[in-house]
Chain A
């Protein structure tokens, strides 16, 4: 069974940093692109970032480019999102998702982790 479990969310002050993790199991992690998608409270879905299966290529939405860094450790079956210079508008539930490709749909999602940006 495919499982994606996010962790690392919490309360952070504006301008602060946070690192999210996504532990994957039930599939060959190193064979899939991985993604982060977020959802602000009561709002729709917003794409954040993608990383290729071997980690060699990364992609970002304009809204987070230069502030967020996506990475992965295929030996640990774990995806990361390092978030910096956090703003109020970054407050959201962050989902990791598996995709068959960097540019594609998302076939499995984690349960999400909430990031709250507030002073």
Chain B
């Protein structure tokens, strides 16, 4: 099973600032990597798939990059609605596995 790690565990950012979240896989997952946003009491929402393709309706301030074992989610200018937990997920190998999440909170 591929182990996903995320850093940092918590990221404190001021509104309008840039946020950079990292995700690492224990072995190559090619570009088979997705990012999700989850707010308290809500289901996860797909942001990015294929490492860099924004899902339908996702604002352009969200971008994904990377391949192999190292991936990044960048939020270019944080809005109030972006404070949430972000998970990465690999789907290159069975079973699909998630990272432990990065909480983005208000600085």
Measuring CB to CB, which residues of chain A are less than 8 angstroms from any residue of chain B?
37, 44-47, 59, 61-62, 95, 103-112
Contact = CB atoms under 8 A, between A and B. Distances in A.
Contacts, number: 53
A61 B34 contact: no
Contacts of B44: 37, 45, 95, 106, 109
Contacts of B49: 104-105, 107
B91 A44 contact: no
A61 B95 contact: yes
15 contacts: A44-B99, A44-B101, A45-B44, A45-B98, A46-B98, A47-B95, A95-B44, A104-B49, A106-B46, A107-B46, A107-B49, A109-B44, A109-B45, A110-B43, A111-B43
Contacts of B97: 47
Nearest to B50: A105
A95 B38 CA distance: 13
- Is chain A's binding surface mostly helix, strand, loop or mixed? loop
Nearest to B87: A45
A64 to B, nearest CB: 10
Interface of B: 32, 34, 36, 42-46, 49, 55-56, 87, 89, 91-92, 94-101
Contacts of B99: 44
B95 A59 contact: yes
A104 B43 contact: no
A105 B91 contact: yes
Contact of B100 (A44, A103, A105, A106): A44
A108 B91 CA distance: 16
Contact of B89 (A61, A95, A105, A108): A105
